[in-house]
Structures are given as C-alpha cells and as structure tokens.
Amino acid sequence: MRAIKKNIIKYSKKLNKIGLSTLRSGNISVRVENGFYITPSGLKYSSLKTKDIVYVKLDGTFNKKQKPSSEWRFHQDIYLRKKDARAIVHAHSTNATAISVHNKKIPAFHYMVALAGGHDIKCAKYATFGTRELSKNILKALKNRKACLISNHGQIVYDSDLPKAFELAEEVENLSLQYITALKLGKPKILSVKKIQKVLAKAKNYKRG
Ligand SMILES: [Zn+2]
C-alpha cells in the first residue's frame, strides 16, 4: 500500500510541476480493494507525506482523523459506476478550464479526441464542488468516455492505472490548447463520427497487435 501512496504523491507533485493544477487544486486517487486512496484536503502537494494520503471505502466512510479531498464524492461515484476505472486524475488545468467556462465540449477537431473514447469530450453541467449533484453530472458526461470537462471548474479523467490516467489528463489539456488555438482562425473542420469510429477501431487493433 505504501507504494501506491508514494505513486499518488509522485503524480500529485507532477500535477504542480507541469502546470496541470497549481498549489492545492485538483486531486488524484487510485482504486484498491473495497475502496480507494486519495489526496488529502487543503495540503500543498509539495509537502505531502504518505501518511497524508487517505483511504476511503467504497461506501464513503473513512477515518475521521483524516480529511480526504473535498471532492472525494465524485471519485467514489466513478469507482462505483465504472468498473474499469482504476485511477482518477482531476485537474483545474488552464485550457480545459477555459473551454469549460463556456460550457462547451471539445468536438472531433483532431482525431486524438478519440483517446477519451468517442467523437467528442463532453462538458459536465456545473454543480457545487463535492456534491452528489456534481457526481451525477460528471457521470452523465462520462457515458462511453474516460474523460470530460466540468463546467466552470476543470477536467476529470479515469483509466486502468495512474500513469495512463495522468497521460490522458495531459492529453485533454493539450487538445484544449490546440482547440482554442484553432478557434482563433475561425471555425475548424470537425471530423465525422464515422471517421472517429475508424480511429477507435484502429487503436483497438493496435493494442491487440
Ligand atoms: Zn476541482
């Protein structure tokens, strides 16, 4: 378990380092048996110790002496609903957040949008952070997807392990920057659902091969 906590700290520091989420914003969790480990509330990532990482059971209970991230509920709800979710990264990254404040999704302006699982990356409706209402909105936007934006808030992704989830969060931020840049030149050409389905089929075969 110590190795899992250490890995969470490593990636939390990386969140800060590469500018994906500054200071205390954003949070990371990893699924374990009957629950998940998550970054704590209110502590700077740069000073995190393994004892600060909080174990939250799948039923939402945790040691009251510890304080998990105030956004632990959407981690819990994703783990309850998405059986393939093994790690979650949530960030207030600048470009993804910039799109989210317009309550816009990222369309298939680039084929890499397919990394999130389909022909777009949806934007979950706004609700107060840490509420069940927000979990509900996020799960709706995550239907058949591994990533979404959260209106007036940021982005959230999950994957089969922490390195993969982190990479996907980086990719969502990168796509957000590319999309904003493309919009400066006018209306970008959007790829059809059929074209994205071809990308998804190819990616699947590539993984198998
Ligand atoms: Zn947040």
When pLDDT is cut at 50, 70 and 90, the band that residue 42 belongs to is: confident
Provide mean pLDDT across the span 7-25: 89
Q: Tell me how far the alpha carbon of residue 142 lies from the centroid of ligand 1, in angstroms.
A: 16
Q: What's the pLDDT at 203?
A: 85
Q: pLDDT class for 43, splitting at 50, 70, 90?
A: confident
Distance 26 CA to ligand 1 centre (A): 5
Enumerate the active-site residues: 71
Centre of ligand 1 to C-alpha 195, Å, is 33
Residue 208 binned pLDDT confidence (cut-offs 50, 70, 90): low
User: For residue 66, how far is its CA from the centre of ligand 1 (angstroms)?
Assistant: 19
How many whole angstroms from 153 Cα to the centroid of ligand 1? 6
Q: How confident is the model at residue 57 (pLDDT cuts 50, 70, 90)?
A: very high
**What's the confidence (pLDDT) of residue 100?**
98
Write out pLDDT tens, residues 123-155: 999 999 999 999 999 999 999 999 999 999 999
- For residues 21-38, one letter each, b for 16 or more C-beta atoms within 10 angstroms of the residue's C-beta and e for the rest, the string is beebbbbbbbbeeebbbb
The percent helix, strand, coil of the chain (3-state, each to 5) is 45, 15, 40
**pLDDT tens-digit readout, 60-92:** 999 999 999 999 999 999 999 999 999 999 999
- Burial category of 63 from C-beta neighbours within 10 Å (exposed 0-12, middle 13-18, buried 19 and up): exposed
For the chain, domain boundaries: 2-208
Q: What is the mean pLDDT of residues 162-180?
A: 97
Instruction: Answer whether CATH 3.40.50.620 is correct for domain 2-208.
Output: no
The pLDDT-based confidence of 207 (bands split at 50, 70, 90) is low
